[in-house]
Amino acid sequence: MADPTPVTPARPSEVTLRGGDLPWRPVSPMLTRVRLISVGIVVLPLLLATVVAAVFASPWALVGTLVVALLGLWAVWLVGRQVSAISWVELDEEIVIRKGRMLRTLVSVPYGRLQYVDIQSGPLERAFGIASCEIHTASPESGGSLPGLPVAEAEALRSRLAARGEAQRAGL
């Protein structure tokens, strides 16, 4: 709470799908590691299984190894791109979250519409000191989620959002 509130005094007209001049803030690079580990947890056993099958059963299983390896590499590349595409900015009345490259989304949630903010952190995320921040409005589909914030920053964001939500709250 002590940190200066990083509100960007920008009009929403400067918000664009591809970013633009606003000071978009990236998420923690730790998120890349967490996601890479998740990919590894899925891919490595598969790789091992196909190799074992190639040794003991038929060398043709190496085709499977190759496919899994390629998929794994693609996933690794994708994780990097995805994480670097997540960014957010706090305007004076909205928080805007951008995500994705192939499938771009941009969510703009007014502070006055916030119902509550969730902070979640799984064991893997906690090991890397990050948490995800989920924003809920009165509509279940409209909330934005912001994965991979450093825990302290997530907490600070939540209290900022709560304070502004209280100040700008609009009736339903």
Q: Report if residue 146 touches other proteins, rule: CB under 8 A.
A: no
Binds other proteins (CB under 8 A): choice among 137, 150, 151, 155: 137
CA distance 150 to 39: 21
Number of residues that bind other proteins (CB under 8 A): 34
Binds other proteins (CB under 8 A): choice among 1, 2, 57, 170: 170
CB of 102 to other proteins, least distance (A): 5
Calculate the alpha carbon distances from 14 to 17, 19, 37, 138, 158 in Å: 10, 9, 36, 26, 24
Q: Report if residue 168 touches other proteins, rule: CB under 8 A.
A: yes
Binds other proteins (CB under 8 A): choice among 5, 58, 120, 142: 142
Binds other proteins (CB under 8 A): choice among 5, 6, 11, 77: 11
CA distance 127 to 125: 5
CA angle, corner 98, sides to 18 and 132, nearest 5? 155
CA distance 144 to 160: 16
CA distance 133 to 28: 13
147: closest CA among 48, 22, 34, 70?
34
- Please give the residues from 16 up to 55 whose contact with other proteins meets the rule CB under 8 A: 16-17
Nearer to other proteins, 53 or 92 (CB): 92
Binds other proteins (CB under 8 A): choice among 82, 86, 113, 117: 113
96: closest CA among 18, 153, 33?
18
Q: Report if residue 118 touches other proteins, rule: CB under 8 A.
A: no
Q: Report if residue 58 touches other proteins, rule: CB under 8 A.
A: no
- The residue ranges that bind other proteins (CB under 8 A) are 11-17, 93-94, 102-110, 112-113, 137-144, 166, 168-172
